[in-house]
Amino acid sequence: MSQAKHFQHYMLKEIYEQPLAVSETAHEKDASGRSLIERVPWSLDELKALNRICIAASGTSRHAGIAGKFMLEALARIPTEVDFASEFQHWPVVLGPELLMLVITQSGETTDTLGAMRKAKKHVGIHTKAGPELSVPSTKAFTAQLTALFLLALRLAEARGNISSEYAQQCAAELALIPEKLKSVLGMDQRCLELGHKYWKHEDFFFAGRGVHYAIAMDGALKLKEVSYIHAEGYPSGEILHGPLALIDDRVVVVVIATCDPSDSESIVRYEKTISNIKEFKARSGKVIALACQGDRNVEALVDDVLYIPAAPDMLSPILEIVPLQLLAYHIAVLRGLDVDRPRSLAKAVVRE
């Protein structure tokens, strides 16, 4: 951004710092020229011996873990499970050299997450470059976590021979485009304010996404809950048909992530099924806001409002998708006269169990 923009709240400032947080996390090198992941002290044999990953985290960090699962399984082909940190410490985890435990935390102080980490025999740290995040709702830490998880998945995939170095370079090149695409998404701030004015009085929201986009549905819902105190639930799009559909009527807003990478056949399948879900939601006179890729005119005719974002591969698109949902939550909360940086009952780090 050229001009120093004045921000009314830390949350908005930190939303706008995401292009830099992602760029720094993706490209920062140490004195030896090693990236975040390259400096983790593990041997090639240790990487090849891995055959399962457990991720434990809380809140927004766990949503990063859900997206990370998709990346790690798609690229590194390692079965990955994601648990609530508060639950993980009670699970009879079978430890061993073939297990990589990942705990994800913005503050590094969350008691549940530290409890989960104590189960691991050896600890190393991967520190993102998001910088201090002061607002309770986590924004730039989240997109930096997604960036670090993508780099980790690439590193593991390359070390284990799952992907060619050419493909790894293509992925790294796509990641390098994300900071500029994020700046373009930030240009939707006014559009998100308009939607905030349209929907701020609604009391019930669903957020829906398929595949890796489910993680963004979860975090979009959490952002709205945290700052506006509106009841919001994140669901896999298809799962809404199994019960929650009964709740959808003209009082309910459904935010659907309907992005698509036309070069990815599985992304197209997810998209087509999501379009079918949108028709179901509209048939119940739900108000539907779709998040779609620029140029997609198919979705526009089916929904009440569309938020357009630049196209990106499915594994990187979540870094872009969360930003309009952060902005929507922010504007709705401000319109409701609430303190977005210090929401009632919440703390930046929960240091109790």
Number of H helices, E strands in the chain: 13, 8
Nearer to ligand BG6, 60 or 274 (CB): 60
| Residue 111 beta carbon to ligand BG6: minimum distance, rounded to whole angstroms | 9
| Residue 114 beta carbon to ligand BG6: minimum distance, rounded to whole angstroms | 9
Give the residue from 288, 208, 283 showing the smallest Cα distance to 252: 288
* Residue 138 engages ligand BG6 in binding (rule: CB under 6 A): yes
Separation between Cα atoms, residue 36 and residue 45, nearest integer Å: 20
- Among 19, 65, 137, 234, contact with ligand BG6 (rule: CB under 6 A): 137
Nearer to ligand BG6, 63 or 181 (CB): 63
- Among 25, 86, 105, 267, contact with ligand BG6 (rule: CB under 6 A): 105
Nearer to ligand BG6, 135 or 277 (CB): 135
Separation between Cα atoms, residue 306 and residue 300, nearest integer Å: 6
Which amino acid, one-letter code, is at 310? Answer: P
Extended strands (E) in the chain: 52-57, 80-84, 99-104, 204-209, 231-236, 252-257, 287-293, 305-309
* Residue 128 engages ligand BG6 in binding (rule: CB under 6 A): no
Asked if 216 contacts 258 with a C-beta cutoff of 8 angstroms, the reply is no
Which amino acid, one-letter code, is at 35? Answer: S
How do beta strands 52-57 and 80-84 pair?
A: parallel
Separation between Cα atoms, residue 77 and residue 90, nearest integer Å: 27
* Residue 35 engages ligand BG6 in binding (rule: CB under 6 A): no
* Residue 136 engages ligand BG6 in binding (rule: CB under 6 A): yes
Asked if 80 contacts 51 with a C-beta cutoff of 8 angstroms, the reply is no
- Among 18, 110, 143, 237, contact with ligand BG6 (rule: CB under 6 A): 110
Contacting range for ligand BG6; rule: CB under 6 A; set: 66-74, 133-141, 157-165, 312-320:
133-141
Contacting range for ligand BG6; rule: CB under 6 A; set: 45-53, 104-112, 146-154, 271-279:
104-112
Contacting range for ligand BG6; rule: CB under 6 A; set: 14-22, 59-67, 70-78, 270-278:
59-67
* Residue 59 engages ligand BG6 in binding (rule: CB under 6 A): yes
Residues binding ligand BG6 (CB under 6 A): 58-61, 105-107, 110, 113, 136-138, 226, 346-347, 349-350
